[in-house]
Structure 1
Amino acid sequence: MRFNLATIQLSLTDHVELNYNKLARFLDELEEGSLVLLPEMFFCGFDYDRLEEFALLSEYIIEKLKLTSRQKNLLICGTVPEHTEEGIKNTAFLIEDGKVIGRRSKVKLFYPFEEDRYFVPGEENPVFKTKFGRVGILICFELRFTDMVLDLKKKGIDILLVPAQWGYARREHLRVLSQARAIELQSYVVVSDTWGEFKGTKFAGQSGIYSPWGEVLEFSETGDIYLEAEADLSYVEEVRSAIPVDIK
């Protein structure tokens, strides 16, 4: 099965409408029937002063993305601040053909960025069955945690999605970890990061698409841009057959 993988890299502003409109233009240009990844907190960033306000907007943003997904036959993933009974969570969503088919909240909060002060951690690390195969999601900082990666490997995934707002000072970590996880998992890895400066923090860019062999299919350090690459699930099986490293 062959299909189009895409990742969108954005610089953020204080204005939700500007952020979303920039994103929407890229979604309009993408090939129909694509799997597309958006950055972590893509419409608002980590603006803690307005977090409650943005959490109230999240479902409206998701409804807009559901419409685009339905119109263009897209599978869309990103993260938003989500109100829950426990508090606000940083929650990833999967929208397939206009319907939300899955959500998972960030488990590993990034303490140096004070995420633990403003967000409640999630608890689960599920695998989602999609029309493009089995998908796992690790949100930004979670990419560092080998236990979460191995958990996904045991469960079996074809594609790992990594929505991120990764700091510029640690940019090489993101690049190296992304490629390493593709090799470890023998799966496609898609990374979507923000770039430029927002609220006094400079972000890494380093968005990319990696093959199950660890090849860099697409990569960008800077710029508002979308990247695309063809994926083939039969290649996942080919790589795993060539180098069997199944965990028993």
Structure 2
Amino acid sequence: MRASLIQIAVNPDEPVNYRRARVASLVAGEVSGPNPADLVVLPELWPVGAFAFTRFAEEAEPLEGPTHEVMSRAAAEAGVWLHAGSFVERAEDGTLYNTSLVFDPRGERVAAYRKIHRFGFDQGEAVLMGAGEELVTVTLPGTTLGLATCYDLRFPELFRGLVDAGAQTFVVPAGWPERRRAHWTLLARARAVENQAYVLAVGTAGTHADVPQAGHTLVVDPWGEILGEAGAEEEILRVEFDPAEVEKTRERFPVLKGRRLGVERPGTLG
């Protein structure tokens, strides 16, 4: 399977409509060469910037708003599976969500995932957005994707739940800050190793609301080896990987079979 991870630079001076059109052209470019992508992945909140909290309400869209429309058309025209990253969704009741979209090669939306773990503690996304409540997987030819977004990467129980739902490849769009880049790489590799799955983690470049972004999009195999990694600027990381390696790894080293569920917590000593 050939995957193209597009590490977009979010420039606050670039009009959002222009960025949508530019990103759609980047998607098209990933199927025009001799080795067209099977799957294209975009980062978190690329229409607005992951740390541009003050613009979330202004830039919020309905589920089938402008970003949905442009990305659906981009997937259909390219004939490619497209994880369109995430955008600020305004639900019918007015609640904002950090929502990811996945389209099939016909441009049909096959999944929408609302980010479960919101970053910010008592500010930013954590107070401005609602929390998603559903794990989401998507079946592609050859592999099943498990969807997560940025801060979700810090919560291993989410990924174990996705494995139980059949996930073999985790897709993690993010707007990860440069000051915690070491965690980005460490956690992506950890989620791959402990679940014996591929991790496709795509970040953003540039600066969002004075927060420099980490970039360094990467693909990790089920043994925790990095198959490819981008730099800090806008870049497209292209990686070819074999989805069959997931089941081969789980058969050769069946660590997941050793799980013990429902073990009671130890009582108080003394």
TM-score, normalised by the number of residues in structure 1: 0.92
In structure 2, distance between residues paired with 1:209 and 1:18: 28
In structure 1, distance between residues paired with 2:119 and 2:98: 11
The CA deviation at 1:57 is 7.1
**Is 1:103 paired with 2:109?**
no
**Relative to structure 1, is the Cα distance of residues 188 and 129 closer, same or farther in structure 2, using a 3 angstrom cutoff?**
same
Post-superposition Cα deviations, 1:37-74, rounded to whole Å, max 9, x if no partner, equal: 11100111143333233223762121111111112221
**Relative to structure 1, is the Cα distance of residues 186 and 19 closer, same or farther in structure 2, using a 3 angstrom cutoff?**
same
Instruction: Specify the code of the residue in structure 2 equivalent to 1:5.
Output: A
Report the equivalent of 1:49: 54
* Higher RCO (Cα < 8 Å, 6 or more apart): 1
3-state DSSP of counterpart to 1:28? helix
Instruction: Specify the code of the residue in structure 2 equivalent to 1:95.
Output: F
TM-score, normalised by the number of residues in structure 2: 0.85
> Could you tell me which of 130, 136, 140 is aligned with 2:150?
140
Instruction: Specify the code of the residue in structure 2 equivalent to 1:80.
Output: F
3-state DSSP of counterpart to 2:43? coil
Percent pairwise identity? 26
Report the equivalent of 2:141: 131
> Could you tell me which of 4, 7, 21 is aligned with 1:6?
4
Give structure 2 stretches of 5+ with no counterpart. 260-270
Give structure 1 stretches of 5+ with no counterpart. none
3-state DSSP of counterpart to 2:60? helix
**Is 1:187 paired with 2:197?**
yes
**Relative to structure 1, is the Cα distance of residues 122 and 57 closer, same or farther in structure 2, using a 3 angstrom cutoff?**
closer
Instruction: Specify the code of the residue in structure 1 equivalent to 2:173.
Output: P
The CA deviation at 1:89 is 0.5
3-state DSSP of counterpart to 2:167? coil
1:1-248 matches, cutoff 5 A: 3-14=1-12, 15-31=15-31, 32-46=36-50, 47-56=52-61, 59-77=65-83, 78-84=85-91, 85=93, 87-97=95-105, 98-112=107-121, 114-247=124-257
In structure 2, distance between residues paired with 1:233 and 1:207: 19
Instruction: Specify the code of the residue in structure 2 equivalent to 1:19.
Output: R
